[in-house]
Amino acid sequence: MAHDLVAVCDVCLGEIDDGDGVLEADMTAADRTLRAWRRRVGADPLAVFHTSRGAQPVRWTTRHHDCDGGRPTHPYTIPVERVRSWPALLQWGVHLADKHFTAATDWHDLVERAVEPRRAAVSGILPRHPRDLNGGPIGDRPPSSPRRD
């Protein structure tokens, strides 16, 4: 079955088949980061990006079960086969919006890299057939060329 989205391992850069890998974030690191940000900037954890130089969110990683890329002690884990379509990715985004730790992760960046492949991601959750935001294939025409409707 062809999927809309593919999972590419952050460790070996190989494509991950269903049942062979996960998308995960370190919940312990995210909780720790969130507490530190709240102490620094108050209730709005996203304000840390505007007020703290070098502040980085906790990264979502995509990996094969057999690839060891520094596995978290307490991961929030999503099997890759559950994030293989645009509706599934959207559904996970809605689900994660209710999780307190998500604000301290790069979930939005992960989704943006899937939506806008010009961001040149080589691993993570990526579209099988990259399209630009106008619906054309990546590399179809130079970015400065006018749209042909």
Look-up: residue for tokens 């108050």?
42
Predicted confidence pLDDT, tens digits, the chain (149 residues): 568 899 999 999 999 999 999 999 999 988 888 887 777 666 555 555 545 555 678 999 999 999 986 778 899 999 999 999 999 999 999 999 998 888 889 998 899 888 876 666 688 898 887 766 666 655 544 455 555 54
Q: What is the pLDDT of residue 133?
A: 63
Domain boundaries of the chain, sorted by first residue = 5-31+58-127
Query: Edge to edge, what strands does the sheet with 75-79 contain?
Result: 61-64, 21-26, 75-79
**What predicted TM-score, i.e. pTM, was given to this entire model?**
0.77
